[in-house]
Amino acid sequence: MAEFDVDLFVIGGGSGGVRAARIAANYGARVMVAEEYRMGGTCVIRGCVPKKLFVIGSHVHDEIEDAAGFGWRIGQVSFDWATLVANKDKEIARLEAAYTTNVEKSGAKIVKTRAVLEDAHTLRLATGEKVTAKYILIATGGAPNHGPAVPGIEHVISSNEAFHLKELPKRIVIQGGGYIALEFAGIFNGYGSDVTVIYRGDNILRGFDEDVRKHVRAEMEKKGITIITGCTVAKVDKHGRDFTAHLSSGSSIGSDQVMFAIGRHPNVGHLGLEAAGVAINPANGGIQVDAWSKTSVDNIYAVGDVTHRTNLTPVAIREGHAFADTVFGRRQVAVDHATIPTAVFSQPEVGTVGLTEQEARAQFSHVDIYKTDFRPIKATMSGRDTRVLMKLVVDGVSDRVLGCHIVGDCAAEITQAVAIAVKMKATKADFDATVALHPTASEELVTMRTPTARHVRQAAE
């Protein structure tokens, strides 16, 4: 008789947990996955996928406007929010079924219930059943964080609820300045809502390159989005179906919805972590892990947003795969968290990989900047007032490209390809030796020959 009921018990059926379960099962492990809500996790059910679908739909308004410059005469058009939401729900249900099928095909078993740790090897299911496991993987992801409670916080929605609103708000106030806040600002603006963004910092997209931050803000404001920085929402009042957001600056804004998108916290509560001896990282509130995703308990691992390392779906997938290779494939695989490309599906779109100018100047003595800001070819005919930003950050000594930052249409698609070159430590000379693909916006990346700035850090005397 086996010492344990299963070789691996995975808590959480999101991207990281599912990848780990499938790979471990392929190695011959007996695997059980517990998911109390819906298979697919944040990304598939209430994150990246539905968000991208909403973004794509919100672009149509601009496409219709731009068509006139190319000779198209489009008559009266209308938009139906309920149809968008229903079709999105249908696609998410399809993906959820695909996730479930793929896990079951691998040989792993899914239990649709909550699982809590009783000790390092025992889990108690909400059904009352107990399961013992040789290894346990925690992949419970994260959840929206509303921050310090303010009066009227019960009236505020998060991105979770934004996907299921019964009707499109005519006016919405969004607090936050990161990925989620800006993406939803663009979404609602594209569908015709009056959008106001409130952010406590001096400018949006904290942590991104300064030129990117300035460019995105200017372009969003051109589209009619109001961005107010240096303050927060201090109170929310409800009047019938309307809301008033009172700001820390003393002003107030009326709206049909108030949304907070000020960050996410790891889902570490009520999992029985203390009972099993799993430590929390005091620096970020996530589960503390080593380079192989092992927690403070030898047989318990954690991957994805619950560790609060790099909260991106492809990273969680990579971590889950590496865990399964390490523990069940008998070959140690550590995930390299450096030089990870990322995108913000704001409008305009952002794609970035590698170091910002500020980070490079702090780490390298000589830094060369190549930057261009231009009107895309489409705008010359559509008449739209928009500009593209492309920027390369280069080590002035080795000529290695340290970072690439793009703002404009298809920025994410371009960045995915550029990320390969940056990861391979390509030099600016390598970029220069690449023949341009014309006419494209991305050809600028291989035709910028003269630095727009050169920075030399003086040695301390």
How many other C-beta atoms lie within 10 A of the C-beta of residue 441? 19
- Residue 352, classified by CB atoms within 10 Å of its CB into exposed (0-12), middle (13-18) or buried (19+), is buried
Q: Select from 140, 163, 206, 147 the least CA-distant residue to 344.
A: 206
Secondary structure of 422-455 as H, E, C letters: HHCCCEHHHHHCCCCCCCCCHHHHHCCCCCCEEE
Contact status, residue 168 vs residue 330, Cβ threshold 8 Å = no
Which active-site residues does the annotation give?
438
Compute the distance between CA of residue 405 and CA of residue 356 in angstroms, rounded to an integer.
8
Compute the distance between CA of residue 180 and CA of residue 183 in angstroms, rounded to an integer.
5
Contact status, residue 99 vs residue 18, Cβ threshold 8 Å = yes
Compute the distance between CA of residue 270 and CA of residue 129 in angstroms, rounded to an integer.
17
Q: Select from 236, 173, 172, 168 the least CA-distant residue to 199.
A: 173
Coil, strand or helix at 107 = coil
Which token pair is 382? 């559509």
Q: Select from 381, 370, 452, 451 the least CA-distant residue to 406.
A: 370
Which token pair is 460? 């301390």
